[in-house]
Amino acid sequence: MRAVTGLWRWRRNPLCRATDLAEAWVALAALVLITVVAPLTGALVGFLTEDSLQRAARLEQHTHHLVTATVVRPLGRAPESDPDTAGVHETRSRVVADWSAPDGSAHHGPVLADLKSPHTGDHFGLWTDPRGRITTRPLDSVTATSHAVLAGFGAALLAAALIEAARRLTVWRMVRRRYARWDQASDRAGPDWGKAGTGS
């Protein structure tokens, strides 16, 4: 708004310098860019991220399989939680377990189980790839969308910050140039400028 009021105030003012008008135009251009380009950038980044994450989620839902594992023996508690479960902090324990892969192969080894106090013979769900290797829970559609919204919001903020930084840098250079011109004019006038009898 300062840019618009600045342009309106300076439009026919005899005290208006070219640099004042230029600064107001730079501020107006930055305002327009922030209100138009930043949201468009955020929307574009959000859309592209959403598309990419949804494709990844669909792929993971086809390649990650939930199998049933059996506890052989407990190894102790592990304070780890799945980063893709929104707000849910699961108690997980380390155990040695047996499980069968979707391709039918048998597997044995240490894993994290979502059991508070595991005992031998307990069953729990375990995410694996088609060959039985342990993997993460597949990305769900809601989580993918929330990540895309955050990416779009971050991109919009970054675009706005870059535009504002460019505006500040431009105004700073204009002010430096103005001060340099004032110094040159002062040097041309000499040290006696304004004194009586110097022809000023």
Percent of the chain scored above 90 by pLDDT? 37
pTM for this prediction: 0.62
Nearest CA among 1, 26, 15 for reference residue 173: 26
Report pLDDT digits (tens) over 113-133.
888 888 898 899 999 988 889
Residue count (the chain)? 200
Is residue 83 pLDDT above 70, yes or no? no
Is residue 4 pLDDT above 80, yes or no? no
Q: Given CA atoms 169, 170, 173, 174 in this order, what sign does their dihedral have?
A: negative
Q: Quick one: pLDDT band at residue 104, thresholds 50, 70, 90?
A: confident
| Nearby residues of 51 by Cβ (< 8 Å), 6 or more positions away | none
Q: What is the per-residue pLDDT for 162?
A: 96
Torsion of CA 60, 65, 71, 72, to 10 degrees: -100
Highest mean pLDDT among 5-9, 97-101, 105-109, 158-162: 158-162
Please state, in angstroms and rounded to a whole number, the distance separating the CA atoms of residues 23 and 176.
13
Nearest CA among 53, 68, 27, 63 for reference residue 143: 53
Amino acid symbol at 57:
A
Mean pLDDT rounded to a whole number for the chain: 81
Q: What is the per-residue pLDDT for 87?
A: 44
